[in-house]
Amino acid sequence: MSKKLAYIFLTIILILGIGLVYFVPRQKYQSKEITKKILESVPMQTHFWIGRDIDNVITQFEGDAYNFLSNMVARNFFNPRLKEVVTLVVLDAGNFHYPKVCFSGGGFSSNEQEMRKIEIAGKKFPVHILLNEKPGTQILSVYYIIIDKEIVPTWVEQKIKQLVYSLFNKKKVGIMLRVDIEVKNSFDSSFKVVENFLNDLYLSLNSETQEYLFGKKSQ
Residue 17 sits in which domain range?
3-214
What is the pLDDT averaged over residues 26-36? 57
User: Residue 107: what pLDDT?
Assistant: 82
Nearest in space to 140 (alpha carbons), one of 112, 104, 171: 112
Q: What is the mean pLDDT of the chain?
A: 79
In a domain, 29, yes or no: yes
Structure confidence at residue 54 (pLDDT): 86
CB of 118 closer than 8 Å to CB of 198? yes
**Residue 90: alpha-carbon gap to chain centroid:** 6
136 found inside a domain: yes
- Region 108-133 average pLDDT: 93
Q: What is the pLDDT of residue 162?
A: 60
- 177: helix, coil or strand? strand
Confidence bin at 35 (pLDDT 50/70/90): confident
pLDDT at 29 over 50: no
Nearest to 74 by CA among 116, 102, 47: 102
Whether residue 205 contacts residue 70, with contact meaning beta carbons closer than 8 Å, is answered with no
How many C-beta atoms lie closer than 10 Å to residue 39's C-beta?
A: 18
Looking at residue 67, its pLDDT comes to: 43
In a domain, 219, yes or no: no
Q: Are 110 and 104 in contact (CB under 8 A)?
A: yes
3-state secondary structure of 72: strand
Range among 48-57, 70-79, 165-174, 186-195 rated most confident: 186-195
Q: Does some domain include residue 99?
A: yes
Residue 64 forms part of a structural domain: yes
> Which of the pair, 197 or 2, is modelled with greater confidence?
197
Report the domain count for the chain: 1
Cα–Cα distance measured from residue 88 to residue 86, given in angstroms and rounded to the nearest whole number: 6
